[in-house]
A and B are shown apart, each in its own frame.
Chain A
Amino acid sequence: MTMDMNTRTEKRGISLGSRAKHTWTLIKNEKSLYIMIIPVLLYYIIFCYIPMGGAIISFKHFSPAQGLWNSPWVGFQWFEEFFRSPYFARTFTNTLRISLATILFGFPAPILFALLINELHGTKFKRIVQTLSYMPHFVSLVVTCGMVIEFTRYNGVITQVLGIFGFPQKTMLQEPNLFMPVYVISGIWQEVGWGSIIYLSALVGIDQQLYEAARIDGAGRIRQTINITLPCLLPTIIIMLILRIGGLMNVGFEKIILLYNDAVMSKADVISSYVYRKGLLEANWSYSTAVGLFNGLINCILLISANTITRKFADTKLW
């Protein structure tokens, strides 16, 4: 973010030595900024980059007794085993399905919510609504999932209310086809308020003169939203969307394992929950690392392509 000045004084044809010297002067001038970034860099190196070396065990038959280096190499055995297993197609499609649905419904929700909040005028009321909407975000996932399970049982409050509209009185989390809706809707409920914060702050930054001009031209509320608010929000929305697409294959295993049971496994089991079971419960280290690595690779490809596409068409990009 502070790199803009690089380009400012850069001249063609300067020798390597003077360039290094030049960089050094730059660093010296902005000393405190660079010092401040050290902890963050360390964090990423220690907790994100060094552990990546551990992915090596996905090509080995890792046994704790032999250790990381001495465990024998097995090539792509674990990957092949995963691709051949009946769980591959299932966890793969489930991951995609659940993730796409989360983006399709979960992504616009905070934007809409922010727009609605923005239209509210009483400050006090606005604040109360906002605070209430943040609350579920701060409740532990274990608790919210417990609530979801209770409320969606055949005699739970949600099932009973829906029953008034003719919904069958069944335990929802036993119906494979209802797992995804329950997962997505409960996710929206928990995160909509928290997710709207970034959009609200972007909304504050919009020049009020634009609205004034629009009003003079006779634009109503909806016109203003479509022609001013949304275009001004677009860069934020796109950056958020790219980040989301990069995490497309990342369906957190915590919520899945808290909600699933044998009855809905066929529609609920995702790659991350499968990795969790294989790796941490069954101690099948190498296999689960291979599956995790495969998942990470796809994420990486998705992120890069999402960035390329948006750079081409919308001129907003991560890098």
Chain B
Amino acid sequence: MKIKKIIALAICITVAGSLLISCRGGNGGGIIQESPVTQPGETSYPINTDRTLTYWVDLQGSISANYKSITDTPLGKELENETGIKVQYIHPPAGQSDVDFNLMIASGNLPDIIEIKWITRYTGGPEKAIAENIIIPLNDVFKNYAPNMTKYMEANPNVERAVKTDSGKYFAFPFVRGDDILLTSYGPVVRKDWLDELNLPLPETISDWHAMLTAFKVQKGATAPFAVSKDQGTFFILANGLFSGAYGLKKEFFIDDGQVKYGAYLPEYKELLATLQKWYSEDLIDKGIGTTDGKAMDSYVLNGRTGAFACYPGSTLSKYVPAFEAQDLNAELLPVQFPVKNRGDAVKYTSMVHPVDASNQFTAITAKSQNVELAARFLDYGYTEKGNMLYNFGVEGESYNIIDGYPKMSYFVMNHPEGWSVSQAWSAYARATYSGPFEQRREYIEQYWMLPGQKEAFTAWNSSEAVNHILPPVSISEGESAQFSSIINNVKTYVDEYSLKVLLGTESLDNFDAYITQLKSFGIEDAIKMQQNAYDRYMNR
């Protein structure tokens, strides 16, 4: 009931808002762009303007720990200095991003710029968002006001392909991972010191993992030998190829030989679940797996109850390694390869993403914006050489210095005097640690993953074949998108529920056929076909 009220209220606001807008349109004969700030095609920063842009984007926890808004950070101030453009950032309350975004869209009250995962978050994707008059196509905008972005796309055709819809409309300024080593940032980590103590080799296969977890349980007394937090979904690991890779799949969509497949709909998924169910029944997997959140995870790892888990080393290991050191434990965390079925098999499925992945943030200009040109010029700055350095490393002389041509982060950032973590200090000055309208650089990860256990991730998770199995940022056609998202929402909910129940043993694997039938009746095959068509269209762009 409460929700209904909120929705209804939101709609009332929409109506009131649209009335106002139509009145204004009637009086002024439409909204007229003010004369351009500079001539089309070129930009000389700083731009002289007294207008302020509004910019909706999530506020990272690493920033909100110290600042209320990006505007207040050194980065926000430097951007204003450099571009001459004032930006008022609008941040949704922490954890309320989705709700806030949906209500904003429904209210029709949009800022100039919205940065979000447009491909996955907006039902129907960018094509639909343009058709529904939420954001504008940027073809002319790029041509006229974004010379640097245009140049950047010319030099990087794979980026150009990813920021346009199937019908050839550019929709956003992208976040681009500019180097291969930035593409794989999530994977399995184990307690190396326990392995050494127990005389075990680094695990390569599923049976190695089984032996290792059993040894952790029996000989090290680990009560949750393998644990995973539910914060991103308990089966986030399977969607990223951990364990599932050994069975030749990823839980959700992936590419195999040009074919789109949905992992949880494959017969091999049954074997995968059988393995996990067996591990759980042998107490090798956390007994609280359904309720374990990030905090519970931390206490598992730091109290030696867990010997293997999956993580983003940047944020996670920078928490664990110092905590272990402080306790003076000789704990050593080491990233290991994604397990395979037979020794010597090549690793094919990892957490590797596309440089302009569908899960990336894209920065779009809204149809309500009256400052299209200014917004474009502001965003275009991220693709200049200077802007790229600012977004990645911050302010030269403060947060970084060029040493032998290498942007070296300053002592101030790496050892903040007030005890801020590296990610807090870094994200105050730059956005390399998360996302934004720019190309992320290799030097970021080289300096961000500095701790023992972080550096090893590069080689441990590296796989030459993973790139063949990742789904590029495709978009479902506009007419099919509503149906597609309805199918996929039903499927995902059902798959997660079934998988967890099987793992816990409350649901039998004998019902796997019924499970497949249920997925079929949700329309999974139609969804796979739509995704296949989208993939084919993408490859032909």
Residues of A within 8 A of B (CB): 47-48, 50-55, 57, 62-69, 85-86, 149, 153-155, 170-171, 173-176, 250, 252-253, 261-266, 272, 275-276, 279-285, 288-289, 292-293, 295-296, 299
Contacts and interface: CB of A to CB of B under 8 A. Distances in A.
Contacts of A51: 4-5, 8-9, 11-12
25 contacts: A53-B12, A57-B7, A64-B14, A67-B14, A67-B15, A67-B18, A149-B291, A153-B291, A155-B223, A171-B288, A171-B290, A173-B291, A174-B291, A174-B504, A250-B1, A252-B2, A261-B291, A261-B500, A262-B496, A262-B501, A276-B3, A283-B102, A284-B486, A288-B3, A292-B1
Contacts of B12: 50-51, 53-54
Given A54-B12, A65-B132, A295-B1, 9 more contacts: A51-B11, A154-B287, A174-B288, A250-B1, A261-B500, A266-B501, A276-B3, A280-B98, A289-B4
Given A263-B506, A284-B486, A47 B9 contact: yes
A63 B133 CA distance: 11
Nearest to B521: A86
Contacts of A283: 102, 105-106, 123
Nearest to B495: A262
B81 interface: no
B485 interface: yes
Contacts of A261: 230, 234, 290-291, 500
A52 B1 CA distance: 11
A52 B288 contact: no
A67 B504 CA distance: 46
A65 B130 CA distance: 10
Contacts of A275: 3-4
A246 B347 CA distance: 59
Contacts of B103: 280
B218 to A, nearest CB: 19
Contacts of A174: 288-291, 504, 506
B3 A52 contact: no
A309 B104 CA distance: 45
B460 interface: no
Contacts of A67: 14-15, 18, 108
Contacts of B11: 51, 54, 57, 62, 68
Contact of A280 (B3, B490, B500): B3
Contacts of B108: 64, 67
A176 B506 contact: yes
B8 A53 contact: yes
A52 B9 CA distance: 9
B234 A262 contact: yes
Nearest to A176: B506
Residue among B5, B8, B518 with the highest chain A CB neighbour number at 10 A? B8
B105 A64 contact: yes
Contact of A55 (B8, B497, B501): B8
A265 B291 CA distance: 12
A24 B9 CA distance: 34
B33 to A, nearest CB: 21
B107 to A, nearest CB: 8
A279 B7 contact: yes
Contacts of A281: 98-99, 102
Contacts of A66: 132
B134 interface: yes
B37 to A, nearest CB: 29
A65 B9 contact: no
Contacts of B14: 64, 67-68
B489 interface: yes
Interface residues of B, number: 49
A292 B290 contact: no
Closest 6 CB pairs of A and B: A54-B8, A51-B8, A65-B132, A292-B4, A263-B290, A54-B11
B506 A64 contact: no
Contacts of A295: 1
A70 B439 CA distance: 41
B161 to A, nearest CB: 27
Contact of B1 (A65, A68, A284, A296): A296
B290 A279 contact: no
Nearest to A264: B290
B495 to A, nearest CB: 9
B240 to A, nearest CB: 17
Interface in B469-500: 485-486, 489-490, 493, 496-497, 499-500
A94 to B, nearest CB: 13
Nearest to B105: A64
Contacts of B1: 250, 272, 292, 295-296, 299
Nearest to B287: A154
Contacts of B107: 64
A262 B497 contact: yes
B230 A52 contact: no
B199 to A, nearest CB: 30
A66 B106 CA distance: 10
A266 B498 CA distance: 10
Nearest to B501: A263
B123 A282 contact: yes
A292 B3 contact: yes
Interface string B128-144: 00001110000000000
Contact of B287 (A171, A265, A288): A171
B3 A279 contact: yes
B500 to A, nearest CB: 4
Nearest to A61: B482
Nearest to B121: A283
Contacts of B105: 64, 283
Contacts of B501: 262-263, 266
B500 A262 contact: yes
A213 to B, nearest CB: 47
A171 B291 contact: yes
A295 B4 CA distance: 10
A289 B7 contact: yes
Residue among A153, A261, A262 with the highest chain B CB neighbour number at 10 A? A262
B10 to A, nearest CB: 8
A314 B329 CA distance: 71
A276 B4 CA distance: 9
Contacts of A292: 1, 3-4, 7
Residue among A57, A170, A283 with the highest chain B CB neighbour number at 10 A? A283
Contact of B134 (A50, A62, A65, A265): A65
B373 to A, nearest CB: 23
Contacts of B9: 47, 51, 54
B489 to A, nearest CB: 6
A55 B291 contact: no
A276 B99 CA distance: 10
Nearest to A282: B489
A252 B1 CA distance: 9
A64 B132 contact: yes
Interface in B79-104: 98-99, 102-103
Residue among B106, B223, B499 with the highest chain A CB neighbour number at 10 A? B106
Nearest to A67: B18
A239 B518 CA distance: 45
Interface in B155-208: none
A263 B98 contact: no
Contacts of B485: 282
B506 A175 contact: yes
A63 B108 CA distance: 10
A54 B7 contact: yes
Contacts of B6: 280
Nearest to A278: B489
A99 B186 CA distance: 42
A68 B123 contact: no
Contacts of B234: 261-262
A192 B134 CA distance: 48
